[in-house]
Amino acid sequence: MRMKERESMKPLKKSIVIDLKDGDYLLINPYRGLGDVVDKETLKELSSQDVEISNGTMQALARRGHLVEDGEEDDLIQALRRRANKMHTESKKIKGHGIVITYDCNLRCPYCYERHLFAKEQKRRATMSRKTVDMLFETIQVIDSEDNDGGASENREENPMTLIGGEPLQKENFSIVEYILKKGAELGYPFSIVTNGADLSHFAPLLSQYDIKKIQITIDGVKEVHDKRRYRKGNRGSFDDIVKGIDEAHKNGLPVVIRINADSDNIDRVPEFAEFYMDKGWYPDIPAHVSNVTASECLMYSPLITAEQFTKKTIDLFLKDERMKVFRHSLLTHNDLLRHLVRDEEFSLKFWYCGAQVSMLMYDPLGDIYPCFEAVGHDSQKIGEYIPELKFNETMNQWQSRTVFTIPECLECNLAFICGGGCAYGAIRTMGSLNKPYCDRMKFIIEHEFPYVYHLMKTEEGGFKKAESQGGIQKPSHP
């Protein structure tokens, strides 16, 4: 369709401009998830309030939505606000159930975000009993039926029940894990599990009988590195047990993913683990990605690195060490827009950051309910209880009403609909309020990761798939 010719138009206020560091710039239209490469002169022309539609480039940019008519963008934002409210209400109907089987853990990692529980001995030792599990599943049935008019089962396949802890898969808890799997499967739920993997080999045959969508296991490097960071009580390293567990799970056809937690103590040695990972034959069946260890309010842990340092450091490693190639998709893990631009994956605007702001419910062994993994065990973030009976409190309403439209700083930010306002728990921890932004890595991802991935796409055929149609990165062509 040919656009109506105009003499001048306005550049998008929320346009994202990325310096590609080769003289060109990537201009992103955040509403449509598309990017166009422009030169410095074009960028200069776009910096004025009214842009003359005097040449083919400007006409092409207008067609791609980078230029709009007066008031059009404000109307669009109002329409998005209405759409976000509707989506938020709809999404709340489908609950994400997370089961904190126990607060106890068989490892003693120095950077654990649940370390604060070690001081509360009684709480830390809490583990679900059969009676607790029975009450929990009665609760889940009530919640599912109330919210979905009995139709929740249609969505369960895409909405696995998550087993977490402490450590959910500990040998001594085998029978309660088995009981939970049985009860969840009877309701038609698949599962995902976040585990340290130390006792996984004992569970692999049991898990293979159920619909398990994902098992996330953490390894922090080669044996020497990992064992200094992730050890059992009494300082016995867990590396050999975890490797055995992964092999066992792999043999049983279970979908394992590896997370490598990095900070200043181990990040330089991640390439050695890449070599081990290849030698084991885990690549590409078992995906692995590098993440940074994040602070938690009770954690005094000096090797932490900031989001900016982590982003720069990982790109530096990717550039100088070929072995890192196997972990490259780490760059895309937290970035829907980048995945869309380089792989043509579906792109949708992000009005909130994660399920905790919509429908996630984390049930602990003491009968309390929390909104998110990290908030578990923090009394101030309790959103309800299921023992002795189900009830929710005002904190739940606060968590489940947070969107980019409730955070003034985000509304002003051009990354708003890509970022979603950042981690809610991070906002509480660092800014003391849910209605504050948590920018974390987003700005550094835009500044550092985008140029790197863009050049990788250009230089490495097959490195990343280049999107062609709606999304992809283009040079604006003349009509």
- Contact region for ligand SF4 (CB under 6 A) — 126-134, 148-156, 304-312, 406-414? 406-414
Residues 6+ apart with CB under 8 A from 474: 34, 35, 36, 37, 64
Binding to ligand SF4 by residue 422, rule CB under 6 A? yes
| Encoded amino acid at 286, one letter | I
d(CA 159, CA 197): 23
Tell me the closest approach of the beta carbon of residue 308 to ligand SF4, in angstroms.
13
Closest CA to 242 of 222, 212, 265: 222
Does residue 331 bind ligand SF4 (CB under 6 A)?
Answer: no
Measured CA to CA, the distance from residue 151 to residue 147 in angstroms comes to 9
Q: For residue 340, give the H/E element and its range.
A: helix 336-343
For the window 334-353, what string marks contact with ligand SF4 as x by the rule CB under 6 A? -------------------x
Closest CB to ligand SF4 among residues 225, 410:
410
Among 424, 445, 453, 473, binds ligand SF4 (CB under 6 A): 424
Beta bridge partner(s), residue 373: none
- Does 450 interact with ligand SF4 (rule: CB under 6 A)? no
CA distances from 289 to 132, 212, 261, 262, 331 (A): 35, 20, 9, 10, 8
CB nearer to ligand SF4: pick between 203 and 347: 347
Taking CB under 6 A as the criterion, the residue among 327, 438, 452, 454 binding ligand SF4 is 438
Q: Which is nearer to ligand SF4, 88 or 226 (CB)?
A: 88
Which has the closest alpha carbon to 314: 289, 336, 294? Answer: 289
Residue number with CB closer to ligand SF4 (374 or 449): 374
Smallest CA-to-CA distance from 453 within 350, 346, 292, 334 is with 334
The counts of H helices and E strands in the chain are: 19, 17
Residue 440 Cβ vs ligand SF4, minimum distance, rounded to whole Å: 7
Among 446, 439, 371, residue whose Cα is nearest residue 401? 371
184 binds ligand SF4 (CB under 6 A): no
H or E segment and range at residue 164:
strand 161-164
Which residues from 351-390 bind ligand SF4, rule CB under 6 A? Answer: 353-354, 356, 372-374
* Residue 410 makes contact with ligand SF4 by CB under 6 A: yes
Segment lying near ligand SF4 (by CB under 6 A), choices 57-65, 129-137, 159-167, 424-432? 424-432
For every residue of 402-437, DSSP letters joined together read: --GGG-HHHHT-TTHHHHTT--HHHHHHHHS-TTS-
Which range in 25-33, 100-108, 167-175, 409-417 contacts ligand SF4 by CB under 6 A? 409-417
**Binding segment toward ligand SF4, per CB under 6 A, in 68-76, 119-127, 195-203, 416-424:** 416-424
Q: Does 180 bind ligand SF4 (CB under 6 A)?
A: no
Which residues would be at the binding site for ligand SF4 (CB under 6 A)? Answer: 353-354, 356, 372-374, 404, 409-410, 413, 415-416, 419, 421-426, 437-439, 442-443
